[in-house]
Amino acid sequence: MVTKVQKVNPEDFSKEELKEACDILKNGGLVAFPTETVYGLGGDALNPFAASKIYKAKGRPSDNPLIVHIADMEDLYKVADGITENGLKLAKTFWPGPLTLIFKKKEIVPSSVTGGLLTVAVRMPAHAVARELIRQSGVYIAAPSANISGRPSPVRAEHVIEDLDGRIDMVIDGGSAGIGIESSIVDVSGADPVILRPGYITKAMLEKVAESVYTDPVIESRVIRKDIAAKAPGMKYRHYAPKGELVIVEGDIQKVTAKINMLAEEKEKKGCKTAVIATNETKDKYKCSIVKSIGSRKHEASIAAGLYDILREMDYLGAQYIYSESFDNDILGGAVMNRMIKAAAYHIVQA
């Protein structure tokens, strides 16, 4: 299969430019497209064959359900059942936007899309191209992140091509995805909302709309919790990982720099390709031959946006060992560290 790349300017595009992509979706094919979080790999959510193609293209375990993307509020009632008061309030407040909500599913949603679960994950993206694609094709789009399973999520069309060239029908290249980390996932199928994956929409933001918001204990854990099952099945897999071994070093920043310099020197002396993930503020403090900045500590959104780019860059550089500072600060820190810790397979060192 030849994967077509279609360039589209999200600020200025015509319906005509998305026609071929819409035809592919209507006919059960796969189209990767930009959203405001990361690039998604889309197929018709009500067509079980399209869903099975998504799993195959990504090499994704079939018990890891897909998020159904909709363009308008009335679509929610077509796929979700028993919509709770909190669910509706959160949807009305944060949609379109980077929030995925879990509801009881309607019969028409194939169980292959929900990984056999009786619930369905729904999101209304804010990205102009994503919304037009859903509206114009007339299909709800099941879309996980458009990467090979286990790899860092794609934030540019080039990342999608790297992973999925020849495996999908089309990639719509709309430039960089804005936020750079996946949507927050909140289970609203019960009375009280439960955060299953942290993201740009934080607990504090949710609490302004709904009382008693809980966080699934698995995502707050800094060690592998074999005693409790992850409620978002995807959270149990090793994820977002670069090919090299990633270690996170935590603590007072001066001690962190010293510790990373020591660890990196040990590996470089052994002749191993070693890299450091730093910030604009600290990058000059390292002696390692490869030092990359993820973003600025003064603009934490830049750290979220830089995360997957830098993890992929580590692969281009052939880094065998990667030492990273911790970014557990402010508002987005929880969401960034949730991904970093999984990418590091829970390998955290105290400085």
Q: Which stretch binds Mg ion (CB under 5 A): 66-74, 137-145, 272-280, 306-314?
A: 137-145
Work out whether 145 is an interface residue with Mg ion (CB under 5 A).
yes
Work out whether 198 is an interface residue with ligand AMP (CB under 6 A).
no
Work out whether 65 is an interface residue with ligand AMP (CB under 6 A).
yes
Phi, psi for 113 (deg, rounded to 5):
-70, -35
- Closest contact distance (angstroms) between CB of 264 and ligand AMP is 31
Q: Which stretch binds Mg ion (CB under 5 A): 145-153, 184-192, 256-264, 294-302?
A: 145-153
Q: Which stretch binds ligand AMP (CB under 6 A): 63-71, 173-181, 252-260, 271-279?
A: 63-71
Task: Classify each residue of 254-270 as buried b or exposed e, where b means 16 or more C-beta atoms within 10 Å of its C-beta.
Answer: eebbebbbebbeebbee
The separation between the first and the last C-alpha atoms of the chain, rounded to the nearest angstrom, is 49
Phi, psi for 287 (deg, rounded to 5):
-100, -10
- Closest contact distance (angstroms) between CB of 96 and ligand AMP is 16
Work out whether 199 is an interface residue with ligand AMP (CB under 6 A).
no
Task: Evaluate whether 39 touches 159 at the Cβ level (below 8 Å).
Answer: yes
Work out whether 182 is an interface residue with ligand AMP (CB under 6 A).
yes
Q: 102 vs 351, which CB is nearer to ligand AMP? A: 102
Ranges within 135-154 binding ligand AMP (CB under 6 A): 144-145
Task: Classify each residue of 20-51 as buried b or exposed e, where b means 16 or more C-beta atoms within 10 Å of its C-beta.
Answer: ebbebbeebbbbbbbbbbbbbbbbbbbbbebb
- Closest contact distance (angstroms) between CB of 182 and Mg ion is 6
What's the rounded Cα separation, in Å, for the pair 15 and 150? 34
- DSSP alpha helix (H) spans, the chain: 19-26, 48-58, 73-79, 85-94, 128-137, 157-164, 203-207, 217-220, 253-269, 300-316, 333-343
138 contacts: CB under 8 Å, gap ≥ 6: 22, 26
- Closest contact distance (angstroms) between CB of 341 and ligand AMP is 15
Ranges within 86-105 binding ligand AMP (CB under 6 A): 102
What's the rounded Cα separation, in Å, for the pair 310 and 116? 34
228 contacts: CB under 8 Å, gap ≥ 6: 217, 218
Work out whether 235 is an interface residue with ligand AMP (CB under 6 A).
yes
Ranges within 3-62 binding ligand AMP (CB under 6 A): none
Q: 22 vs 185, which CB is nearer to ligand AMP? A: 185
What's the rounded Cα separation, in Å, for the pair 177 and 33? 10
Total of chain residues touching Mg ion, rule CB under 5 A: 1
Q: Which residue of 32, 50, 213, 232 would you call a contact of ligand AMP, by CB under 6 A? A: 232
Q: Which stretch binds Mg ion (CB under 5 A): 9-17, 143-151, 192-200, 267-275?
A: 143-151
Residues near Mg ion (CB under 5 A) are: 145
Residues near ligand AMP (CB under 6 A) are: 64-65, 67, 102, 114, 117, 119-121, 144-145, 182, 185, 196-197, 231-235
